[in-house]
A and B are shown apart, each in its own frame.
Chain A
Amino acid sequence: KQEVTQIPAALSVPEGENLVLNCSFTDSAIYNLQWFRQDPGKGLTSLLLIQSSQREQTSGRLNASLDKSSGRSTLYIAASQPGDSATYLCAPDSGAGSYQLTFGKGTKLSVIP
């Protein structure tokens, strides 16, 4: 059974700082891994999808890396802005035709102006 841990649970940084969010998962037989953000009272917004054959994926100020063998992924946010404040969720797909994502509890990010 896939289990996902995200560290830290909460993070507060000043505007402009670069930061790293960590995600670890127990079953390395994944098909892909997705990062989302969730704003309070809202749905999830997909940020990045990394296929199991990829090492990293970039979108604007976001860079996600994947080390499948060690069961780890990181989300790097460059030059953080107050608008980045949200909860960030990591979700590996457990593959094997399950189509299912397993979510961590998320990291709540606050970027202070």
Chain B
Amino acid sequence: DTAVSQTPKYLVTQMGNDKSIKCEQNLGHDTMYWYKQDSKKFLKIMFSYNNKELIINETVPNRFSPKSPDKAHLNLHINSLELGDSAVYFCASSPHRARNEQFFGPGTRLTVL
């Protein structure tokens, strides 16, 4: 009965490859997010997605793209991976705006070699 799940938990890949991370929430939430936690443990928002409205953090390279096949899923696609993309990526979700408590997934540790 996991609330927010991510796959895979670990991802090791070569520079230049394209990869995807999947996220699913079974909480019936309206909004989903992707965050990046870098090597210094600093957590930053990448995207938020609500009812087909995508809000992008302007610092995120366009090699990163979120894809939402339905309300319960928000996948993260990364093209042409670079060494600096190595980080832990967290997916989160929240109910409607009036109560914006966010619930996080366990994270995906991406290592680019």
Residues of A within 8 A of B (CB): 31-32, 34, 36, 42-46, 49, 87, 89, 93, 97-103, 105-106
Contact = CB atoms under 8 A, between A and B. Distances in A.
A98 B100 CA distance: 11
B43 A31 contact: no
Nearest to B42: A105
Contact of B90 (A32, A44, A87, A99): A44
Contacts, number: 55
Interface of B: 31, 33, 40-45, 48, 50, 55, 57, 90, 92, 94, 97, 99-107
Contacts of A97: 97
A34 B101 contact: yes
A99 B50 contact: yes
